[in-house]
């Protein structure tokens, strides 16, 4: 997918002044955040599970090739096919090839962020195949021709009346004055609209939350049931996923299934977890005749063994973005690529290059709330900080910033000179701002004073006062040495 990460600041400025978006984002606190807190609070073993999950993921990454081989051989053994894709292009072509071989006209799709990474919908449409998103959020966005703004709740940036307007416009055969004021009515209408599409589809495409090496199963974790209809009714099921999603055993899957729904939506369990292994068996009534797994690398293998490897542990729960104050202020579209929020800021530079995306890892106060809630304990802030180091090392930061930081370090490693200068600065600001208690304009820090006053210093610095006290022996019983 093409990116607009480098316009993050401009995107953010627009988002901040969009009252509808702000209204939608304002619901995260009492919504997904509160629900996660309640669900986690009811499971005393939650932290132990997080440690297990991190251990399992690290164990997988240490032998990723072996687990992938094991998975592949189980899929083949059960009559499925595996397609390896080094690049997004490889993956798109693999999917198209499968669709064309069965003469597919329409494909239904379950929610999949990897297919967003591939811009698969546009690619299929350009090749004469109609993709139909069936997850409610994704369906709404497909009608609106928008990208998801969240990896779990793709239409979280919209309010109910936005969606009602979209449905009135898109479901033109229905009475335009019908009542769509309750979410139940919107859900019911989408259910009706999509039901026949499920039966008519030639191919069903889903993602995979996990690939289980032991059994060759792909696993999807859902609430609506759309992904299940997508992968059960058409004659071909294509799973599009990425190399890091493999886990060893069914027991390991259970560990992740305890973490994912609680972290994502605050549910103890989602309505559905479905394991798919190969094509349908001879006497099964339903299930696809062909089962394909397209496994994309897309730059991930280069993270293996690097300091940032843990970013591959992500299970795409979205908790980091639900709790991130920056995401909460600007929403997902501002980030400009597939994965928003802290995980996006940590992952995107690895996949599309820090040159195009350095604005993302910089857009964090390092408040650490994302790390606190991450179910697999990814050190997101450390990883963002390392991208900043790479940006600085490659001299992608502004020369003004680089010079400023060097000058600061030069000065602050000379305590005598430093204290003389800070003494003068404090005194100067005090003289200017004494009466009002704050400055309303500051050189080099208009970003501060545009929105806030800069409080006036008390006057003499701490060190100046300590020196003076030492001289007059009114030293408070403190050694100043």
Partner 1 sequence: MSNAREKIFAAIARNKKPMQDAAEKSENLIARVEVNTIPARGNLSGVAMVEEFEKRVLASAASIEYVSSNKDVPEAIVRYLAKHQLPNVCFANGKAGQFSWSRVPELDVRTTIGNVNSPVVVTEAFRGIAETGSLVLISQPGHSSASHFLPEYLIIILPYNNILPSQESVWEDVRQRSGDIPRTVNLVTGPSRTGDIEQKMVLGAHGPRQVHLVVVK
Partner 2 sequence: MTETTSSIQVALYVTCLVDVMRPSVGFAAIKLLQNAGCDVIVPKQQTCCGQPGYNSGDEVAAKALAQQVIETFESYDYVVAPSGSCAGMIKDHYPKLFSKDAEWHSRALALAKNTHELTSFLVDELGVQTLDAHFEGSVCYHDSCAGLRELNVKAQPRQLLSSVKGLSLQEMKGEEECCGFGGLFCVKYSDISNTMVSRKLDNIERSGADTLLAGDLGCLLNMAGKMTREGSTVKARHVAEVLAGMTDLPAIGEGEG
Which residues within the stretch 378-407 sit at the binding site for partner 2 (CB under 8 A)? Answer: 382, 385, 387-393, 397, 401-402, 405-406
Q: Per-residue contact track with partner 1, 88 to 117, x per CB under 8 A?
A: --x---x-----------------------
CB-count burial class (<10 Å; 0-12, 13-18, 19+) for 408: exposed
Should residue 431 be labelled a site residue for partner 1 when binding is judged by CB under 8 A?
no
What is the radius of gyration, based on Cα positions, of the chain? 27
Should residue 34 be labelled a site residue for partner 2 when binding is judged by CB under 8 A?
no
CB 449 within 8 A of CB 441: yes
Give me the least distance between CB of 149 and partner 1, in Å please: 12
Question: Which of 365, 431, 441, 468 touches partner 2 by CB under 8 A?
Answer: 365
**Partner touching 100 among partner 1, partner 2, none, CB below 5 to 8 Å by kind:** none
CB 163 within 8 A of CB 154: no
Q: Is 476 strand, coil or helix?
A: coil
**Partner touching 186 among partner 2, partner 1, none, CB below 5 to 8 Å by kind:** partner 1
- The residues near 225 (Cβ < 8 Å, ≥ 6 apart) are 271, 272
Q: Per-residue contact track with partner 2, 412 to 451, x per CB under 8 A?
A: xx-x--xx--x--xx------xxxxxx-x----xxxx-xx
Q: 415-433 and 462-472 are packed helices; what angle lies between their axes, rounded to 10 degrees?
A: 110
Question: Which of 2, 19, 176, 476 touches partner 2 by CB under 8 A?
Answer: 476
What b/e sequence results for 225-253 when a residue is b if at least 16 CB atoms lie within 10 Å of its CB, and e otherwise? ebbbbbbbbbbbbbbbbbbbbbbbeeebb
- Show contacts with partner 1 in window 10-39 (CB under 8 A): 24, 27-28, 31-32
Pairing mode, strands 210-212 and 246-247? parallel
Should residue 159 be labelled a site residue for partner 2 when binding is judged by CB under 8 A?
no
Pairing mode, strands 454-455 and 438-439? antiparallel
Should residue 364 be labelled a site residue for partner 2 when binding is judged by CB under 8 A?
yes
- Show contacts with partner 1 in window 56-95 (CB under 8 A): 56, 58-59, 61-70, 77-78, 83-87, 90, 94
- Show contacts with partner 1 in window 290-329 (CB under 8 A): 295, 297, 301-306, 309
Q: How many CA atoms lie within 13 A of 471 on its CB side?
A: 6
Of 225, 267, 221, give the one whose Cα is nearest residue 108. 225
Give me the least distance between CB of 368 and partner 1, in Å please: 24
Any bridge partners for residue 132, and if so which?
108
Give me the least distance between CB of 438 and partner 2, in Å please: 5
- Show contacts with partner 2 in window 320-349 (CB under 8 A): 325-326, 329-330
Rounded CA separation 385/308 (Å): 10
Q: Which long-range contacts (CB under 8 A, 24 or more apart) does 16-19 make?
A: 16/329, 16/330
Length of the chain: 481
Should residue 27 be labelled a site residue for partner 2 when binding is judged by CB under 8 A?
no
**Partner touching 183 among partner 1, partner 2, none, CB below 5 to 8 Å by kind:** partner 1
- Show contacts with partner 1 in window 235-264 (CB under 8 A): 243, 248-255, 257-258
* Residue closer to partner 2 (CB basis): 285 or 451: 451
Should residue 12 be labelled a site residue for partner 2 when binding is judged by CB under 8 A?
yes
């Amino acid at each position: 997918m093409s990116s607009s990460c480098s316009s993050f600041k401009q995107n953010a400025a627009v988002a901040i002044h969009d009252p509808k978006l702000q209204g939608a984002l304002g619901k995260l606190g009492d919504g997904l955040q509160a629900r996660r807190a309640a669900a986690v609070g009811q499971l005393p073993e939650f932290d132990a599970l997080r440690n297990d999950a991190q251990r399992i993921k690290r164990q997988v990454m240490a032998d990723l090739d072996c687990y992938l081989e094991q998975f592949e051989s189980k899929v083949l053994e059960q009559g499925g096919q595996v397609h390896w894709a080094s690049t997004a292009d490889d993956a798109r072509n693999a999917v198209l090839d499968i669709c064309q071989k069965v003469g597919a006209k329409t494909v239904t799709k379950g929610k999949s962020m990897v297919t967003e990474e591939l811009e698969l919908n546009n690619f299929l449409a350009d090749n004469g195949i109609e993709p139909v998103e069936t997850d409610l959020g994704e369906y709404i966005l497909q009608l609106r021709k928008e990208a998801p703004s969240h990896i779990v709740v793709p239409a979280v940036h919209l309010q109910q009346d936005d969606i009602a307007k979209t449905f009135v416009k898109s479901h033109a055969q229905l009475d335009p004055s019908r009542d769509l004021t309750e979410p139940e009515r919107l859900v019911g209408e989408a259910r009706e609209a999509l039901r026949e599409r499920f039966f008519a589809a030639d191919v069903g495409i889903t993602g995979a939350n996990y690939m289980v090496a032991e059994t060759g199963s792909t696993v999807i974790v859902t609430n609506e049931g759309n992904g299940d209809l997508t992968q059960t009714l058409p004659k071909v099921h294509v799973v599009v996923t990425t190399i890091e999603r493999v886990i060893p055993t069914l027991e390991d899957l259970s560990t992740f299934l305890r973490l994912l729904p609680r972290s994502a939506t605050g549910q103890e369990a989602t309505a559905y977890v479905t394991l798919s292994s190969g094509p349908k068996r001879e006497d099964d009534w339903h299930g696809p005749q062909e089962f394909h797994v397209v496994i994309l690398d897309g730059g991930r293998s280069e993270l293996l063994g690097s300091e940032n490897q843990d970013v591959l542990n992500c299970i795409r729960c979205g908790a980091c973005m639900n709790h991130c104050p920056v995401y909460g202020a600007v929403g997902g579209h501002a980030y400009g690529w597939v994965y928003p929020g802290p995980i996006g800021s940590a992952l995107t530079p690895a996949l599309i290059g820090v040159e195009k995306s350095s604005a993302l890892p910089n857009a964090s106060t390092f408040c650490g709330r994302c790390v606190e809630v991450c179910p697999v304990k990814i050190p997101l802030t450390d990883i963002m900080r390392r991208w900043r180091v790479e940006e600085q090392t490659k001299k992608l930061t502004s020369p003004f910033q680089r010079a400023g930081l060097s000058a600061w370090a030069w000065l602050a490693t000379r305590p005598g000179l430093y204290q003389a200068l800070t003494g003068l600065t404090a005194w100067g600001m005090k003289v200017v701002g004494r009466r009002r208690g704050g400055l309303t304009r500051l050189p080099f820090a208009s970003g501060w004073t545009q929105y806030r006053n800069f409080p006036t210093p008390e006057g003499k610095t701490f060190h100046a006062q300590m020196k003076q006290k030492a001289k007059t022996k009114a030293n408070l019983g403190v050694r100043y040495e």
